[in-house]
Amino acid sequence: MYQAGSWKRSRKVVARLECSLQPVAGETGTRQEVDIRYIVTSLKGSAQHLYDNVYCQRGQMENLIKLHKAQLASDRMSCHSATANQVRLVLHTAAFWLMHGVRAAIPRANPLAKGEFATIRERLIKIGARVIEHTARIRVQLPTSCPEGALFRTVALGLLRSGP
């Protein structure tokens, strides 16, 4: 517990310390790195709970917001009408949830499972394919040389289960 001079009451301080040896660039040796993170809070709960379920989850939310803005260009609201900008933001949010669903459908063993949206878009979405529409289904024919063909099929089947 800690109370600064200007605070009316004391607060819980949680610290996470991580020490590791890191290689020195251009040399054969290593150097010790210390990573210290502090949380000052009035929330109740154990230090482990506060760090894992509050602090880290908040950071994950900020990362998702950064993905929304940077990789889907959702911060570009250049229309003169507020309604038009609102529609653009809704469309960007729909694209975000689609990309989030695609990433969730990628098997955990695949490196793309933690990939950024731009990487997933380049490897799985911006590929040449023939789309054939039938009465009851849509068939996507990928070229035989498509390097991510098997992953595309896995993701498509994974998304199919989440549909209507």
For residues 107 and 152, give the distance between their C-alpha atoms in angstroms, rounded to a whole number: 11
Instruction: Give the three-class secondary structure for 70.
Output: helix
35-91 tens-digit pLDDT: 898 889 888 889 889 888 888 888 888 888 887 788 777 777 778 888 888 888 888
Whole-prediction pTM: 0.60
- pLDDT, position 93: 87
Instruction: Give the three-class secondary structure for 65.
Output: helix
Size of the chain in residues: 164
Q: Taking a C-beta distance cutoff of 8 angstroms, is the pair 151, 124 a contact? A: yes
Q: Distance of CA 156 to CAs 68, 138, 141, Å?
A: 22, 11, 12
162 pLDDT higher than 70: no
The packing angle between helices 82-105 and 149-160, to 10°, is 110
The dihedral formed by the CA atoms of 81, 86, 87 and 90, expressed in degrees to the nearest 10: 170
86-126 tens-digit pLDDT: 888 888 888 888 888 999 999 999 989 988 888 998 888 88
